[in-house]
Amino acid sequence: MRALCYNIPVKYVIFGGTFNPPHSEHIAIARHALDCGYDKVVLLPSGVPPHKSCGVGAAHRLEMLRLAAQGEEDFIIDEYEIHTGGVNFTSEVLPRILEKYKGAHYLIGGDSLIDLNKWHEPEKIIKMCPILVCRRAGRDEEFDKALAFWRGRGADISVMDYFPKGVSSTMARYRAELGVYGGLNEKVVEYIKENGLYTTFSQYLKRLARMVKPARFEHCKRTCEYAVMLNIKLRLGLDNDKVFLAGLLHDCGKGSSRFDRERALRPLPEGADEEDRQRVPEPVLYDEALIPADAVGKPVEHQFVGAVLAEQVFGIKDKEILGGIRFHCTGKADMTVMEKLIFSADVLEEGRDYLGVEELRRIMLNNFEEGFRACLKASYDNVLRKGGDMYPLTAQAYSCYFNK
């Protein structure tokens, strides 16, 4: 708590957001604003955000924010927007908030500054009060351009010398769906679990857990998480829900394919570890005629089986998702962004520890197309090294992306 002198105006900074859920970076940014000389940070959770859908109700978001901000004496949570209901644009809400917190500044993230031109009435907003903005790692050029542009339009913008770490509410929501809660306050996590928040996909997870071995299930979750992370971080523009499902279900055919069922019947090798002993609890039967004949009984078979089961067991009809599953193992010529993404996330997910994976991840995080090509090359070389059969689709993918 700072000593406040009654005849010196309090310096407020308004920090709006959906806080869905509030995470460690929200708190870090707010604390950093205090270090920049503000006396109070006013956290302003939005009601119904006009530009994004929000599956979790305002009451839950407010309660999570209270828990996340517990013990922070210089944070104020203002419920104004929550109670106004309906669609609220910043240009309409901010004047009323500024009446209450006289002389306040308005804090936005670096991405928001870059996208400010897409907001409702940005010209009005920039004239309402001084703006404090957080830097944005990885988008320096766009950030500097937006900064110069808005300053040129008369905006009074100060840049906070703080680079938020790559935590985002969107990522936190998808991770919570998977039961992963990094970057969230313990009490917020407890609240999420108690109230069953972020469980849109729980039926898919439960069903998948019955179809594949536990270790495979964990790999599916990690692939899903990595794919969503890449889609957000590299701004690939795919629908996150679709990426989530394609990543999660990409290996749902493992265990049900003929290759895997036959392997499960073989005697266990000497010294087999616990994972090998785990039997697939519930292989699912399907019409083998739907699987390309040259894949039946081969390791690549599970990708085709996976696409069939995703449709028949999980009710997925979306072609983009099914394509991501169907070609995640072999690749093919002329792949969609989704197909490249799931192919790559499968070999890059955080549980992978083969030699060279770090370098592949580095290339990917730098550039999606180069990252995908590096993953394709690594998979192709791996088949050659092991002396296995090169599946025709993989050969076609290689010639499409390397010999053109």
Rounded Cα–Cα distance for residues 217 and 231 (Å):
21
Q: How far is the CB of 219 from Fe ion (least distance, A)?
A: 6
Among 329, 341, 342, 364, binds Fe ion (CB under 5 A): 329
Between residue 172 and residue 211, which ones bind Fe ion under the rule CB under 5 A? none
Indicate if the alpha-carbon torsion angle 291, 222, 67, 37 is positive or negative: negative
Q: Which is nearer to Fe ion, 230 or 329 (CB)?
A: 329
User: Exposure of 84 by Cβ count < 10 A (0-12 exposed, 13-18 middle, 19+ buried)?
Assistant: middle
Q: Which is nearer to Fe ion, 21 or 306 (CB)?
A: 306
Q: How far is the CB of 78 from Fe ion (least distance, A)?
A: 46
The interface region with Fe ion, picked from 114-122, 266-274, 338-346, 392-400 by CB under 5 A, is 338-346
Helices (H), 266-367: 274-277, 301-312, 319-326, 337-348, 357-366
Among 177, 225, 251, 339, binds Fe ion (CB under 5 A): 251
Q: How far is the CB of 353 from Fe ion (least distance, A)?
A: 15
Instruction: Give the number of other Cβ atoms within 10 Å of residue 253's Cβ.
Output: 29
Q: How far is the CB of 328 from Fe ion (least distance, A)?
A: 6
Rounded Cα–Cα distance for residues 9 and 14 (Å):
15
Q: How far is the CB of 245 from Fe ion (least distance, A)?
A: 14
Rounded Cα–Cα distance for residues 101 and 111 (Å):
25
Q: How far is the CB of 215 from Fe ion (least distance, A)?
A: 11
The interface region with Fe ion, picked from 12-20, 141-149, 204-212, 346-354 by CB under 5 A, is 346-354
Rounded Cα–Cα distance for residues 321 and 250 (Å):
9
Instruction: Decide if residue 346 touches Fe ion (CB under 5 A).
Output: yes
Residues with Cβ within 8 Å of residue 253, at least 6 apart in sequence: 301, 302, 303, 304, 305, 306, 307, 308, 309, 325
Instruction: Decide if residue 339 touches Fe ion (CB under 5 A).
Output: no
Q: Which is nearer to Fe ion, 217 or 398 (CB)?
A: 217
The interface region with Fe ion, picked from 204-212, 232-240, 321-329, 330-338 by CB under 5 A, is 321-329
The interface region with Fe ion, picked from 147-155, 268-276, 291-299, 339-347 by CB under 5 A, is 339-347
- Mapped onto helix, strand or coil, the DSSP state of residue 44 is strand
Q: Strand ranges (DSSP E) for 186-259?
A: none
Q: Rule CB under 5 A: which residues touch Fe ion?
A: 251, 329, 346
